[in-house]
Amino acid sequence: MADNLTAPSFNNSYDIAIIGAGPAGMSAAITATKAGARVVVLDDKPRSGGQIYRNVDASPLANSAVLGEDYLKGKQITAAFKRSAAEHICGVNVWHVGNNGEVLFSLEGETQRLTARQIIVATGAMERPFPIPGWHLPGVMSAGSAQVMLKSDGLVSDGAVFAGTGPLLYLIVAQYLRLGVKVKALVDTTPKTNYVRSMSEIAGALSASAMLIKGLGLMNEIRKSGTQVYRFADNLQVMGSDTAAGVSFCVSGNSHEIVSDHVFLHQGVIPNLNMTRALGVQHHWCEQQLCWKPTTNSWGQSSQSFVSVAGDSSGIVGADSAAAMGRICALGQLVSLGLMSEQQAVTEAAEDQRFMARQQRFRRFIDCLYRPIDQHRKPTDENTVVCRCEERTVKDLKQGFAQGGRDPNQLKSQTRCGMGPCQGRMCGHTVSELLADWRNEPVADVGYYRLRTPMRLVTLQELSRFTDVAPAVTPSIIHSTKSSSSGKGSSLEEKPQ
Amino acid sequence: MFRSLNDKQSQRSLVNLTINGMLVTAPQGQTVWAAMALAGETTTRLSPVTFKARSAYCAMGVCFECMVEINGMPNQQACLFEVKEGMAVRSQKITEQTSLLTSSEITPSDAISMLAENVGGHHG
C-alpha cells in the first residue's frame, strides 16, 4: 500500500472536492455539507460566484442593478454557500486531479495537495472561439471579457463594436447602454435561416416564456436606444494589420465597414473541458450545441465513477440548471459515500430533475436560434489564425493535414497547433470541426486533443514546494465506510448515457 | 481605451505598483489586467513566432493571451491576479528565440516524472 502511487489515501481526506465556485459548485457544496459530508471547494477567482455571479457581493458599480436581476439573485446562493460548512479555497489554480483522488493546486508559488474520495468538476463554460481574420489582433476581445471587466472592475470601453450572436452578446450591449456607454454598432450574425429552423422548437421556448420575454426585451432595449444594429451579417472580418481598426461584413451581399479600435466578439459558450479531458473521462460530440461534452448519467456521474460533472462544464445548461445539477451531483455522491440512502436521493432530486427537463426544451430552442454559422466556426481563409498561442493558420493546418495530421493529436505534432499555454482551449473545437470537414467524416470520429496534467503552467518552484491540506478537525459525522464503492446504489451504477 | 466608471473607487484603499516601469495607483482588488488597461499599457506579451504585440482576449483565464511578468516571474495571467502594493508588472517578451533561455516552465512529461517523485515521497 505504501508504495502504491494510485492507492487512495483516505486519512485526512475530504469526502468531496468541488472544482469551481459558480452556481453548480456552490449548490453542490451546500447540499453535500447539509448531509454531513466534508467538502472543499477550490476556485481560481478571489471570490465565489463563478463568471455569472462574478463579484456579486463586491460590485464596483454604485448601482449593480444595471447588470440585471438574473445577476443580483446570485447573492442568495453565495450567501447560502458562505453559511455552509464547506471549506472554500479561493484564488487557486487546480492543475492536477489524479485517479487516486489527489488534487494539486498552486497557491502563492507553492503546490498544495489534498485528497478527496469524490470529485465534482464544476469548471463552467468558456466562450466559443471566433476564428475569423484578425481575431488575434490587440483591440479584439470576447464580449464575455467586456462583461467580466464591468462586473469585477467597473471598466467600460466607449464606441466599441459588438459582433456575433447569442444572448450574452445582447445582454452586455444592453448593460453598456443602461450605463450610458456608447456602443458604435451591434453586428448580429444570427442568420435568417435560424429563425425559421428554431420555430420547430418554439413549444419548448414557450414553456419557459419568462426567459423568452427577457430575451426579446433586451433586443427591444437595444433598438430603442438608437444603437446601429446590423442583422443577418456574415463574412465577418476584423480590419487592421497590427491592431484592430474595425470590422467588415456583408448583409445580403452588400459589404459594410465600421471603424472602431475596440471589437468585442461572441458566438455562444462551450464547456470548459480541460479538467475532464485531463481526467480521461469519456466525452462525446453534441451536434445540438456543436461542442464536446463529458458523458454522464442522470446523476452527473462520468465514466470514472468518482468524478461527477455539474453545470456548464457538462454541456451548456445556464445558471439555474447548473445549480440544479450541482445539487443532483451532490446527492448522487452522498449515496456513493454512504451518507444518504438512494431512495432519499431520488426523492430530493426529483424537483430539480423536472426543472432541468423543462429547461432542456428551452435550451433546444436557444441552441437552434443562436447556432453560429459555419464560416465563423470553420475558417476557410488561409491566413486566419486558428491556434493563437503558436500562431498557426488555416494554411499551416492544411499543410499538416496533407502531411498526415489526420486527427487532432497528429496535427498537433505536425504543426504545433494546440501546443501553447492555453492547451488547445482556443483552437480545439475549431480543429475538430475543420478536420471533420477535410476528412468528410463526423466530428465524433475525429476526436479531440489528448490532454494531460498539468492543466496550467506550473513553475519548477511550485513543483518543488509541497504542502498538504486536510479537512478542518470538526467532523460532525464519524465515517464508517472506508471505500467509496461499497455504498453505491443500483441507479448510480447505470452506464453513462 | 477602457475607462473606469469610478463608482466606488473612493471606498477602496489604493495600492501602488509599476507597469513597465511606470508608477500606477490602483484600487485594492483590481485585476492586474484592468490596471494595465486603464494605464493604456495594453500590450501583454509578444507573440512567440512573429513577435507581434498581443493583448488580453478573454479576461477570464482561458486564452492565456494576457501572460505578463509579475515581480520577475513570467507567464502570469494578468486577468487572474489582483494588484498588490509594490508589485512590478512587465509586458512579456518571451519568444521562440528566447524561451529556451528564460522560461521556467516545464513540459507535461517533465511534470509527470517530477510528480511521481514528489507523490511517491509523500505516500511512501
CA distances from A148 to A52, A214, A323, A359 (A): 9, 21, 20, 25
Give percent above pLDDT 70 in chain B: 72
* pLDDT of the residue at A134: 98
- Residue A152 CB-density burial (10 A; 0-12 exposed, 13-18 middle, 19+ buried): buried
Using CB atoms and an 8 Å cut-off, which of residues 269-298 of chain A contact chain B?
272
pLDDT the model gives residue B8: 65
Tell me whether residues A61 and B8 touch, CB distance under 8 A.
yes
Backbone Cα Rg of chain A:
23
Of A157, A389, A452, the CB nearest to B64: A389
Residues of chain A contacting residue B11, judged by C-beta atoms under 8 Å apart: none
Across the interface, whether the CB atoms of A155 and B3 are under 8 A apart is answered yes
Mean pLDDT of B1-15: 80
Inter-chain Cβ pairs, chain A and chain B, closer than 8 A: 169
Query: Tens-of-pLDDT digits for all 497 residues of chain A?
Result: 333 334 444 456 999 999 999 999 999 999 999 999 999 999 988 889 999 999 898 888 888 888 888 899 999 999 999 999 999 999 888 999 988 899 999 887 789 999 999 999 999 999 999 999 999 999 999 999 999 999 999 999 999 999 999 999 999 999 999 999 999 999 999 999 999 888 888 877 777 777 778 878 888 999 999 999 999 999 999 999 999 999 999 999 999 999 999 999 999 999 999 999 999 999 999 999 999 999 999 999 999 999 999 999 999 999 999 999 999 999 999 999 999 999 999 999 999 999 999 999 889 999 999 999 999 999 999 999 999 999 999 999 999 999 999 999 999 999 999 999 999 999 999 999 999 999 999 999 999 999 988 887 787 777 788 788 888 765 444 333 333 333 333 334 444 44
Determine contact, residues A295/A288, Cβ cutoff 8 Å.
no
* Distance of alpha carbon A427 from alpha carbon A480, whole angstroms: 46
Bigger pLDDT: B115 or A406? A406
Interface probe, candidates B30, B44, B58, B75, chain A, greatest A C-beta count within 10 A: B58
Across the interface, of B5, B38, B56, the residue whose CB is closest to A145 is B56
Per-residue pLDDT at A209: 74
Cβ atoms of A40 and A46 closer than 8 Å? no
Span B79-108, pLDDT tens digits: 999 999 999 999 998 766 555 434 445 555
Alpha helices in A290-390 (DSSP H): 319-336, 342-369, 374-377
pTM: 0.89
Does residue B114 have a pLDDT over 60? Answer: no
Cell of A157: 470601453
Please tell me the predicted confidence (pLDDT) of residue A420: 92
Is there a contact between B123 and A466 if contact means CB atoms under 8 Å apart?
no
User: In Å, what is the CA distance from B4 to each residue of A182, A330, B40?
Assistant: 14, 40, 12
- Inter-chain contact A45–B80, Cβ cutoff 8 Å? yes
- Domains, chain A, in order of start with CATH, read 14-126+270-340+465-493 (3.50.50.60), 129-267 (3.50.50.60), 374-446 (1.10.10.1100)
For range B23-37, the mean pLDDT: 95
Domains delineated in chain B = 9-95 (3.10.20.440)
More confident residue, B49 or A135: A135
